[in-house]
Amino acid sequence: MDFKRFLKGLQGIVGEQNVVYHSDDLLVFEYDGSVDRGTPEAVVFPSSTQEVSRVIALAHSEGVPVVGRGTGTGLSGGAIAPPGGIQVAFPRMNHILDIDTENRLALVEPGVINLDLDTHVRKLGLRYAPDPSSQKACSLGGNIAENAGGPHCLAYGTTTNHVLGMEVVLENGMVVNLGSLARETVGYDLRGVFTGSEGTFGIATKIAVRLLPVPEAVRTFLGIFPDVESACTAVSAVIEHGIVPAALEMIDALTIEAVQKVSDAGYPDDAGAVLLIELEGLQDEVDEISGEVEAALWETGATQVRTAEAEEERELLWVGRKGALGALGSIAPNYFLVDGVVPRTQLAQVLARVAEVSRKYDIPIANVFHAGDGNLHPCLLFDERQPGALDKIVEAGTEVLQVCVDAGGTLTGEHGVGLEKKEQMPLVFSEDDMAVMVMVRDAFAPDNSLNPGKIFPDGKKHKPHAHPAHSGMPA
Amino acid sequence: MEPTLRDQLARILGGSTVLPGHGHEIDGITPQAVVRPVDRLQVSEVLRWASSENVSLLPRGGGTRTGLGNVPRKADVVLDLGDLDKLVDYQPADMTAIVEAGMTLTSLQEQLALGGEFVPLEAGIPGRSTVGGILSVGSGGPLSYAYGLPREWLIGIGVITPQGVATKAGGNVVKNVTGYDLNKLYAGSLGTLGVIVEASFKLLPINPHDGTLLASFPSQADSIAACRKLLHSPAAPMGCHSVTSGVSRRLQDSLQAASQGLGLGEEETSLSFAFYSGRARATGRRLEEAAALLLAEGATAVQRVEGLAAKSMLRWVTDIPSEASNSSALVIKISVQSRSAARASAECGDVLLFGEKPEQMADPGFGSIRLFWPEQSESPARGVDADQPVLDAVQKTRQIAHRYEGSAVVEQCPLPVKRQIDVWGDPPDSLAIMQSIKNQFDPRGILNPGRFLGGI
């Protein structure tokens, strides 16, 4: 392929200023939020579906792989370009096209930032429920690719439960619509299987999402516990009351230590775990359930319980949780974040085994996680400058995933498989299971030219690079 | 002489699991055999055999929706999954359960109730409807507005491929992005891609209190408009339904106790149901506010039922589609954007068949409307084409659904009409991908051939 001619072709479609290809300019596109790295040959910024279609068709005809890139906050290497590939990014396709309050849906372009949509519709008494912790920076196109989660997915489900329909561009440049603006459609649920396909089926260029009414009342509880075990018991106690909180989050002692170093979250020095619970609903329902939650926290050994209902006060309770990953920079230069999920009842045992892995490898592990849905986020802390540190981390991380799988869980709850966990897929799925998945990909993208080399094991060990903890995107 | 399919199956699985196909007609075709495997291994064996012999299989759960779908191209053997009916694992504290596909919804809910939980699946005739069948159809019920479709609750699935290979996707955790989300693909695929043998679900706690409002309105349009108002108010229910007088009259016997004084039976009366569930105090407050709102919106009477009576009411409404279909010549379900429900309902009300308007069951929140045209009161005169009027009604209804960016599925119609149409309507522009998926999964086309959209 004549790369110069190819570049000219791209420039002809989107305009010269909307193609980046100088190596200096490409540096910022090497990364996402994970440990992987890969330099694209070029990055293209289209402004319309038609341009996306033409770019992808051109790349396809030249045999160049294409990766859609949201804002690069992903945590599994999903947006990393394969060798010789280009990225299509969406800073110019960032418009909210329509808000339909009667139907409670929004039609957006893929570059719209998650929080921007939520903030926009809140003025109308509505909300966009999925709230990945990177929601200030991450885009809805990326959310679709990864089926993003977030703390409030416990009650409202993940991205897939909120996407109604989308317009997507296939690898040959063809534009098709999946799903519809109606809640029920005929045929296979292609919109459902597309969501979370990590950019391997196509690139979404228009997205219709459901909006929910803002709840009448919100109340947040913060419980301080002497250790993770008692905090886990509190989680079970709340659930046993038939309560499904909007969010149920936990941080452990090491994370608390880090948080205390950088911010004033006001945790006592001997705190072994902090549990955050948020209730949403009708005022009298929240009032009624609050008593039960508070009682459950005290009964399971909380040494302190704080509650807040006003938004500003609630924000204060969330400070420690939201700043947790960033705070880890105060105790180690780098971290490797694992996204395993286990059945909720296994949390305490799994955390104990994670602690064993920590001792075995002599790696400090800080835990920040979505306790309500059993989604762990063990952060393996290290210093990449120490020789061999990264290899050891990857080995320990794999062992943590094995612990999760042994407990009846799986590899990733919300970050995706990407490059990072593809070689671990056989821990969960057989060759036959994966062969069926590949058949679906073959139906969408028979030439496998969109985001190739992700999700499925191919024996090509990816070369992880250290991720500086201080710049870490919250998970 | 060639051994019959029945003989071949009996040789593979043993005689007791193979029965004659009589009495299991599907769209006028009598299958040669019904096979009822006792476990998954047998399901695999049947599929392997069918694949190698090019025998078409029609998977069957409780048989409550076998009329759904196009006339099959071939219907050799019915694969009855009723013996795969075990609860595999249920941990109440995890709020998840793994269940075999042949378990009925009623027995699953009974088991889960022991742990204080339920799975938000809805189906008519739940004592016969099976988990696998409900997933394959993929539709919801009266609470779809709150709970969505079965796809939202399915977290893991075990499927035997058409080649007989046991595969899985998802898992038994409530949040999972490991590999492609094939749960979504299988839910609503009408058994055309593989045979579902096991499913994992995310569960919810049973609410302590249920309440239902019934409100009568002078017209279906008034009823839908009031429901829309209610859905957008702070007293929003978990689901609303507006049914026309013919439907409510049919239910009158069962509703009588609860609905006295509603003025049912008058001409042009429509009845709204609004379903609530939650903590007692909050639910009570919402019921009160909602009743006031419905009266202000023109309800001629509002009645409130709570507790078990409210649960029964929900049960009756869930069963309406199956009940009302019994005496209907034509049943169409349209799905549109919810804001268009009122207009679509009004326009569909003017589509006459044999001079009669359709009875309606509308969900103004979810945006679906079921239309039931009664059977022709007198048998048509000789030589009169009885099919053309039905085809015309289908055509007109489809045009209305398309006008509101929706779809129209013919759920029931006379067989001669069914042979002439695709009951799923015009295929979407993604049909080629769907066909390609089908070809990848089932290249020989042995599973439910021809029954799905676009001849899949």
**Residue appearing with tokens 């994992």:** B200
Contact at CB, A186 and B433, closer than 8 angstroms:
no
A178 at B interface, C-beta within 8 A: yes
Say how many CA atoms lie within 13 Å of B417 toward its Cβ: 20
Which of A273, A275, A193 is CA-nearest to residue A442?
A193
Phi, psi of B121 (to 5 degrees): -100, 145
Contact residues on chain A for B166, CB-CB shorter than 8 A: 432
Contact at CB, A436 and B169, closer than 8 angstroms:
yes
- The pLDDT assigned to A226 comes to 97
In 3-state terms chain A splits into helix, strand, coil percentages (rounded to 5) of: 40, 20, 40
**C-beta of residue A111 within 8 angstroms of C-beta of residue A70:** yes
Beta strands in A174-325 (DSSP E): 175-179, 203-210, 212-213, 217-225, 247-252, 273-281, 304-308
For the B209-322 domain, the top CATH level (class) is: alpha beta
Which of A361, A355, A340, A379 is CA-nearest to residue A35?
A379
- Which residues are bridge partners to A251 per DSSP? A274, A368
CATH number of A3-89: 3.30.43.10
CATH number of B87-205, picked from 3.30.465.10, 3.90.79.10, 3.10.129.10, 3.40.50.150:
3.30.465.10
Architecture category of domain A217-322 in CATH: 2-Layer Sandwich (3.30)
For the A96-213 domain, the top CATH level (class) is: alpha beta
Selecting from A186, A343, A439 the residue whose C-beta is nearest the C-beta of B409 gives A186
Minimum Cα–Cα distance from A287: chain B residue? B282
Q: How far is B292 from chain A (nearest CA, A)?
A: 18
| Dist. CA A170–CA A199, nearest whole Å | 10
B96 exposed, middle or buried (CB, 10 Å; 0-12, 13-18, 19+)? Answer: buried
Range(s) of chain A covered by CATH 3.30.43.10? 3-89
Q: How far is A17 from chain B (nearest CA, A)?
A: 34
**C-beta of residue A333 within 8 angstroms of C-beta of residue A300:** no
For residue B354, the tally of other CB atoms under 10 A from its CB is 17
What is the H or E stretch that residue B407 is in? Answer: strand B407-412
Range(s) of chain A covered by CATH 3.30.465.10? 96-213
Minimum Cα–Cα distance from B94: chain A residue? A344
Which residue out of B177, B198, B334, B456 would a mutagenesis test of the A interface target, given it has the greatest number of A Cβ atoms within 10 Å? B177
Contact at CB, A186 and B405, closer than 8 angstroms:
no
Write the Ramachandran bin of B69: left for phi over 0, alpha for psi from -120 to 50, otherwise beta.
left
From first to last of its 475 residues, chain A has per-residue pLDDT tens of 799 999 999 999 999 999 999 999 999 999 898 888 899 999 999 999 999 999 999 999 999 999 999 999 999 999 999 999 999 999 999 999 999 999 999 999 999 999 999 999 999 999 999 999 899 999 999 999 999 999 999 999 999 999 999 999 999 999 999 999 999 999 999 999 999 999 999 999 999 999 999 999 999 999 999 999 999 999 999 998 899 999 999 999 999 999 999 887 889 888 999 999 999 999 999 999 999 999 999 999 999 999 999 999 999 899 888 889 889 999 999 999 999 999 999 999 999 999 999 999 999 999 999 999 999 999 999 998 999 998 999 999 999 999 999 999 999 999 999 999 999 999 999 999 999 999 999 999 999 999 999 999 998 765 555 455 544 444 4
List all residues 6 or more positions away from B312 whose beta carbon is below 8 Å from its beta carbon: B254
For residue A261, the tally of other CB atoms under 10 A from its CB is 12
**CA-based angle B380:B386:B388, to the nearest 5?**
150
Contact at CB, A192 and B94, closer than 8 angstroms:
no
Phi, psi of B40 (to 5 degrees): -65, -35
Which of B384, B329, B435, B410 is CA-nearest to residue B71?
B410
In 3-state terms chain B splits into helix, strand, coil percentages (rounded to 5) of: 35, 25, 40
Selecting from B184, B409, B428 the residue whose C-beta is nearest the C-beta of A177 gives B428
Contact residues on chain B for A444, CB-CB shorter than 8 A: 433
| Dist. CA A306–CA A294, nearest whole Å | 9
Contact residues on chain B for A216, CB-CB shorter than 8 A: 234
**CA-based angle A284:A288:A289, to the nearest 5?**
120
Range(s) of chain B covered by CATH 3.30.70.3450? 209-322
A367 at B interface, C-beta within 8 A: no
Range(s) of chain B covered by CATH 3.30.70.100? 327-418
CATH number of B5-82+443-455: 3.30.43.10
Contact residues on chain A for B430, CB-CB shorter than 8 A: 176-178, 187, 190
* pLDDT of B309 higher than 50: yes
**Window A:27-66, CB contacts with B under 8 Å:** none
List all residues 6 or more positions away from B236 whose beta carbon is below 8 Å from its beta carbon: A213, B230, B286
Minimum Cα–Cα distance from A404: chain B residue? B173
ipTM score over 0.90, yes or no: yes
Contact residues on chain B for A191, CB-CB shorter than 8 A: 184
Range(s) of chain B covered by CATH 3.30.43.10? 5-82+443-455
**How far out from the chain centre does Cα A463 lie?**
21
Q: Alpha helix locations (H) across A207-274?
A: 228-240, 253-262
Which of B361, B412, B373 is CA-nearest to residue B66?
B412
For the B327-418 domain, the top CATH level (class) is: alpha beta
Selecting from B169, B204, B207 the residue whose C-beta is nearest the C-beta of A433 gives B169
Taking one residue from A and the other from B, the number of pairs with CB-CB distance under 8 angstroms is: 251
Contact residues on chain B for A375, CB-CB shorter than 8 A: 175
Contact residues on chain A for B94, CB-CB shorter than 8 A: 343-345, 374
For residue B392, the tally of other CB atoms under 10 A from its CB is 13
**C-beta of residue B112 within 8 angstroms of C-beta of residue B104:** no
